[in-house]
Amino acid sequence: MWANGFIDTVLIGKHMLQTTSDITTCEVLIVGGGPAGISCALSIARGGGSLVICDDKKPRNENSKHISNIPGLEGIAPKEYLELIGLDLKKYQKVISKEGQVVAIEKKNNLFISSLSNNEVIKSRRVVIAEGVIDQLPDIPGLRALWGKSVFHCAYCHGYENINKKFGLLVKNEKGMQMVRLLWGLNSNLVIFSNGHEIFNEHDLFELKKRNIPLFHEKVLRLIESDEKLQGVILDNQNEIPCDKLFIQNEVKPRSDLGKKLGCKEDGKGIYKVNEDGMSSVEGVYFAGDVGSHNQSVIMASALGSHVGICVNADLMREVFNGGIKEN
């Protein structure tokens, strides 16, 4: 049973959800209320589980005007989409939604003790971190102000609507050729910036020349914008290259160090290592969405969240079915 916010005997039941003055006990804490977090919550709730989902209302795509590649909701605004999917949770009685930031998580035996920015405490048997990632943007004047408006990282999200514009691509490693092919398939009016790096091999350079795709090796000095619209790219030789939309190869990092402080292993590229169930190297800690996968899009985050939720619920049921666990 739960007593004063703590488990003091053998847990033999499921679906525990209790709240005292400033302590909430549940089976699962979900950090992040975006597509991954809400989809994860839906799977757990539909399996009868109790959960708390916390979100700080700062989505990765807040600068974007629309979301693409979502069947039935093509072109919906990010804020409207989050409000819409958030309504789906309201019918589940064992779901508590909290607005705020999870600032610390401590694992104590088989229990996770999490602290919120408003001094509330959540005690849970599992933790799902679904708060997403932060884009590490190139340090180029003018780029950050245009992020999500005229500068993008995903052609699937922002390419088709702009096929009549002049595309630019800022590459940084050998995978840049993959983006060249994708963008060129959408729009042959394409120009490449290598920003001072020697990236392409002889075969790639031949293919670019064959298709008359301009390649500028000079470093990018700054972007030119007007009314939040990209006008062109200034190189360090002062040449101005006209460009309407710029795609970049960006790096990411987790939005917080919660996973790192718990001891979860990263892959060296801003993503946590997880198994096929979404569980990290620390038992009981799962990652869902962008923070646990390099396949990053709204629909992929939602799918991964749903999958992780099913796996978490199965994990909890396995414990209960085996007779319960001693928590202290």
Q: What is the pLDDT of residues 206-258, one digit of tens each?
A: 999 999 999 999 999 999 999 889 999 999 999 999 999 999 988 888 989 99
Judge whether 195 and 221 are in contact, CB under 8 Å: no
Would you state the pLDDT for residue 306? 96
Mean pLDDT of the residues in the chain: 87
Q: Greater confidence, 54 or 75?
A: 54
> How far apart are the C-alpha atoms of 304 and 289, rounded to whole Å?
6
| pLDDT attached to residue 156 | 85
Please tell me the predicted confidence (pLDDT) of residue 290: 87
pLDDT of residue 252: 86
pLDDT at site 291: 86
Q: What CA–CA distance (Å, rounded) separates 191 from 242?
A: 9
pLDDT of residue 17: 58
In CATH, the number for domain 138-248 is 3.50.50.60
Query: Looking at the predicted structure, is the pLDDT value of residue 9 above 90?
Result: no
- Indicate the fold that domain 2-135+252-326 takes in CATH: FAD/NAD(P)-binding domain (3.50.50)
pTM, entire model: 0.84
pLDDT for position 11: 34
Torsion, Cα 255 175 232 202, to 10 degrees, reads 160
Confidence at residue 66, expressed as pLDDT on a 0 to 100 scale? 74
Six token digits for residue 177: 């050729």
| pLDDT score at 67 | 80
Q: Is the dihedral of CA 141, 147, 150, 155 positive or negative?
A: positive
Residues 96-115, mean pLDDT to the nearest whole number: 93
Same fold, 2-135+252-326 and 138-248: yes
pLDDT, mean of residues 307-313:
97
pLDDT digits (tens, 9 = 90+) for 16-47: 556 555 788 999 999 999 999 999 999 999 99
- Domain ranges for the chain, please list them: 2-135+252-326, 138-248
In this predicted structure, what is the pLDDT of residue 6? 31
CA dist 178 → 74, 139, 155 (Å): 25, 23, 11
State how far the Cα of 221 lies from the Cα of 228, in Å rounded to an integer: 18
Res. 325 pLDDT band, cuts 50 70 90? low
More confident residue, 180 or 76: 180
Q: Which residues contact 254 (CB under 8 A, 6 or more apart)?
A: 131, 133, 134, 260, 266, 270, 272, 291
Cβ-count burial 249-263 (b if 16+ within 10 Å, e if not)? bbbbebbbebbeebe
Q: CB neighbours of 99 closer than 8 A, spacing ≥ 6?
A: 54, 55, 56, 57
Percent of the chain's residues with pLDDT above 90: 59
Give the pLDDT score at 20. Answer: 57
What's the pLDDT score for residue 78? Answer: 82
pLDDT per residue over 120-167, tens digit each? Answer: 999 999 999 999 888 889 999 999 999 988 999 888 888 888 888 999
